[in-house]
Amino acid sequence: MRYTFRIPTFLLTAPLLPFLSGQDTQPAEPAESEAIISDREKVELVEDSNVSEAISRRPDLKFNNVTIDGEKANGSLSELPSEAVDSLEVLRAITPDLDADARGGSLNVESKPIFLLENSVTKMEAELDFDEEGDSWGEEFLISTSRAQGDFGYRLSLALDHSESYDENLFTDWEQDPETGLFAPEVLGYDTYHGERQEISFKSRVDYRISDSLYTFARLDYVERERDDYRPRVAYRFDQGEYTEQTENSGQSLGAKVERELLDFDAESENLFWQLGTVYEGDRLHIDAKLSIETNSYFEPNWFIIEFDHNDADLSYRWDDPSFIEVNGDTENPADFDFDELLDERWNSDQDDLIATLNLKRTFQTEHYRGFFKSGLKYRARDKEQSSDSLLFSSFDGDFNVGDVGVPGGQTRHFDRTYDLGIVPDADRSRSFYNDYRSEFPLDIRRTREKSDGNSFQVSEDVSSGYAMLSAEWGAFRSIVGGRVEQTEISYQANEVVIDEEGDYLETVPRSGDRSYSDFFPSFHLRYFLNERTTLIGAWTKSIKRPGYGSVVPYRRINYGNQSIEEGSPDLEPTLFDNLDFSLDYELSSNSTLSLELFNRDISDLVYWENTIIDGGTFDGFELGRNRNGPSATRTGVNIIWNQSLQEWGQSLEGFSINVKASSIDSESDYPNRPDDSLPTVHDSDFSIQVSATYDKGKTFAQLLFKERDDYLTSVDDQSWRDRYEKGRDVLDFSATYQVQSNTRLFFEAENLLASPRQSYIGDFSRPVRYGVSLREYSAGVKMNF
């Protein structure tokens, strides 16, 4: 572990200045919130439950980040009980005390010390899950206890999770005849993915009150995960043959290739998190300091891929629906499928994350104003070390075909057209054959070095930050003004695999690099109560999205079967956002509201995924995919949210309510590989809507939620007809709880009741590239408090 503190001197002094000023004229009253939010964005906790259930009942709220006491949290909210929470709210625009990369809304959880509990609480939750796609079951169990004894309080929880999964996927790629303009499938593949997951987690927190104004706390969390996966796969490579007799929906490929492949692996991971902190809460002064360290270890001890190919196959294809292409040809004889390649790999990734924070807050109140000064420091150091130990074999000294290790792969179950996998490699038989005849597999040195050296690297990212903010409230107005400075330093060590002119391995050259940059993020927030029913809120903020610190490493992953390469991008710049947000909330009645939200984002150095075709050299014709920076982009949008209590329409409708949220986004960006085209920003749908109907009365809660969104762009190609899009989905979910006793509730959830598949395409929907089955999932269980 490497932790080096490099906090600039000015960050050490600036945050302390507000605390050196004079005395207040009056004692301060408690502020409603450290951020400016509307009443609609406050979340009501569910008694005797947890934060996760409270959030699930508010589908109209959107957030991409979760913070607990001002720090980002990655754990499950289901393990945070309601009695441990002081407040729960969603921030639409970030304030200077939050990391500048907390974009897209933030769920802010304020906890309270455990020693303040009036009664000890023990909770138990048991859940049974069923997945229609695989006819598979899963189980979850959670038990937690929170106890207070004088100045001492603690919380312990234990969670167990086991699930089995089954997925079916179709994938297609297309090519266009330059003379006729007709499109033909380049490749068609289908697979069935079988997986099993297990997780056990133990979490603990201890709070101790030193005095009425000072307490300290400690956390220790441990999570262990295991998974076991295998995936048989069949692919028809029409592009390896000669196309003939092409029409708009049919054709032939003479001398094509058919692949039968197996992926088999298991993995294990461990996560350890501990935190120490101290909080001082005086009449007007608040100070908190925290030190957190998290370590993650991920290990794949036996990643195994084996592939057999039938070359010179004559195939015909046709379709009525291009998502389900019919293929015919003599491809069922196992003896025709000769050994092509085998990968025996061990993969390890270790990550360390250290965070140290100091926050100071001083409240004030005068005859006309009240508010607070707040400032603080933060240092974060992250490291990732990844190593790949690979052995790749692309030939066998003897006869070896899929029949020697194969078993029937069965048929797909859920596509509109049934596909037969035929004879596919069996995991146990393939591994046994490999171990028994290891000496007959000559090592492919070049591709082994590409796999091992090219995917092994070390990268670190350090972020030092400081902020200061002032909140003031007078009459119907409240404002927050402040700024945050963040300094980022990145360094990496990687490997470049050098290939000579004949395509043979020459050497591996170490590569290293580093870079640093600093940014200032000002922000200004204003709220105005226009009248008793109407609230206006506006904010101007700046924020950042750093590239994943592993994506700036110059790694290279080569897939010879798909003729594709994925590369890291050492020159990738962070994306900067200039944000304007405005909202108007109108209270229709005590339980009904109508809200209008407007926003604009000016974006610099937008990161997107670019696909290009390599021209010339060793990888001529391969598709190269990598992250790139676009020069600029704009996003303008509007949200309309209507929350209506139906009881106001009639007493017989008591307990019923509806919520409607409609969103429209207009975005535009320029992409370097398409300078003459103006395209939307990636992952933006033009329109989306969600409608929920809720019943909440007495012992019963039930909610039906419908969501719909338009298609959206996911990657940009050199040619417009190859731009990739994700098809929008219509999703219908249902959830309900019923309190059978004062301490016992039953719950039921059903997800994706419309069985909406996951689909993507290039250019337009007549050229699908992926079809993923997604059927209904059900959960039922019991929650008990003691």
Check pLDDT > 70 for residue 350. yes
Centre a 10 Å sphere on the Cβ of residue 387 and count the other Cβ atoms it contains: 14
* Secondary structure percentages of the chain, helix, strand, coil, to 5: 10, 65, 30
Summarised one tens digit per residue, pLDDT across range 703-745 is 999 999 999 999 888 888 999 999 999 999 999 999 999 899 9
Residue 118: the pLDDT is 87
- List of residues 6+ apart from 775 with CB closer than 8 A: 131, 132, 133, 414, 752, 755
Under the banding of pLDDT at 50, 70 and 90, the label for residue 55 is: confident
> What is the average pLDDT across 754-764?
95
Q: Which sign, positive or negative, has the C-alpha torsion 332, 335, 340, 341?
A: positive
Mean pLDDT of 195-214: 96
In this prediction, residue 64 carries a pLDDT of: 75
Q: Which amino acid is at 527?
A: R
Q: Tens of pLDDT along 632-646?
A: 889 999 999 999 999
Domain extents in the chain: 31-112, 630-786
**Residue 74 — very low, low, confident or very high, per pLDDT cuts 50/70/90?**
low
pLDDT at residue 6, rounded to an integer:
42
Neighbours of 301 (CB within 10 A): 12
- Say if CB 680 and CB 633 are below 8 A apart: no
pLDDT for res 32: 57
The pLDDT of residue 606 is: 81
Strand-pair partners of 183: 176
Confidence of residue 561 (pLDDT cuts 50, 70, 90): low
> Average pLDDT of 572-594?
92
Concatenating the DSSP letter of every residue in 30-63 gives: PPS-SS---GGGB-PPPTTSBHHHHHHT-TT---
What tokens were used for 663?
Answer: 């969103």
Can you give the pLDDT at residue 178? 86
- Whole-prediction pTM: 0.88
pLDDT given at position 75:
66
In this structure, what DSSP letter does residue 10 have?
H
Query: Which of 310, 160, 316, 287 minimizes the C-alpha distance to 226?
Result: 160
pLDDT of residue 13: 41
Using the predicted structure, report yes or no on whether residue 21 has a pLDDT greater than 50: no
Q: At 595, which helix (H) or strand (E)?
A: strand 592-604
CA-closest candidate to residue 414, choices 5, 755, 152: 755
The overall average pLDDT reported for the chain is: 89
Q: How far does the chain reach from its first CA to its final CA, in angstroms?
A: 42
Is pLDDT above 90 for 344? yes
CB-side neighbour CA atoms (13 Å) of 532: 3
Q: In the structure encoding, which two tokens stand for residue 736, read together? A: 């309900």
Average pLDDT over residues 411-428: 92
Where is average pLDDT lowest: 234-243, 522-531, 663-672, 759-768? 663-672
Which token pair is 4?
A: 């080096």
Range with the lowest mean pLDDT among 94-98, 570-574, 582-586, 593-597? 570-574
